[in-house]
Amino acid sequence: MHDAGFLKAQPIAHRGYHDMNKTIWENTLSAATRAVEAGFAIECDVQYSADSVPVVFHDDDMERLCGVKGDIRAKTAGELGLVHVGGTSDKVPTLRQLLRLVKGRVPVIVELKGRAGDDEGFAASVLESIEDYRGPIGLMSFDHWLLADLKGMAPPCPIGLTAEGNTEQAFSSHAEAMALGLDFVSYHYGHLPNPFVTQTRDNAIPVITWTVRDEAAMAHTFRHADQMTFEGFDPRTIATV
């Protein structure tokens, strides 16, 4: 087990501290820079490129973020590094590029976006990308097979479950994942409180929430969890951005 207490320290900017994709787009180096400058932790997503490199990107398809159709996994990291995000000067970065920018100044939480039956080597590539990183970092995923892969390779950092749901079936599935020896949970705030999260916190395992977009959701988070992943406002002022 690894200590994930650093996740409680400051609000976590969802996909970096973007401005809802107006001028600073999600999961870009600009969004990461803005988070560092504001003192927020950074949550980001990683996909698996055609040449087995973790790239910072959320969607399976490139159309919403890059204006071109195509599977993100069909492109190499080098090809993606030439593609503009949202018509800005930002390109699709690799995980290594984002970590070189952050340099340990704020925590980073990386969510692996898996695909059943198509993730061979993905977990290992992420661990390779962070092996020389010196700073607070955690890895998480919805996908139990990726969590099992990560835990099976003696990771150097906390591993967490991304989760949602408020049914017994959901709680049972989450408990199976936690049996891997996970270190934290990231849960949908709208499904709190619930017995799974209560027990998790009773076991001294940190719980963060996703994705908080207003003051009411923020207040709800801090009644039932330890920290929030947020977007669309500044938690320091509660003013919208």
Tens of pLDDT, residues 222-236: 999 999 999 999 999
**Looking at residue 241, what is its pLDDT?**
44
Instruction: Report d(CA 157, CA 147) in Å as an integer.
Output: 13
Give φ, ψ of 36 to 5 degrees: -60, -45
Q: What is the pLDDT of residues 60-92, one digit of tens each?
A: 999 999 999 999 999 999 999 999 999 999 999
Residue 141 has what DSSP assignment? E
Per-residue b or e along 6-20, where b marks 16 or more CB atoms closer than 10 Å to that residue's CB:
bbeebbbbbbbbbee
CATH number of 5-233: 3.20.20.190
Q: By percentage, how much of the chain surpasses pLDDT 90?
A: 98
In DSSP terms, 163 is beta-bridged to 187
Average pLDDT, the chain: 97
| Contact yes or no for 52/71 (Cβ under 8 A) | no
Instruction: Report d(CA 126, CA 112) in Å as an integer.
Output: 8
Please report, as a single letter, which amino acid is at residue 60.
D
> What does the pLDDT average to over 30-38?
98
Instruction: Report d(CA 230, CA 35) in Å as an integer.
Output: 11
| Contact yes or no for 157/189 (Cβ under 8 A) | no
> What does the pLDDT average to over 158-173?
98
- Residue 1 reports pLDDT greater than 90: no
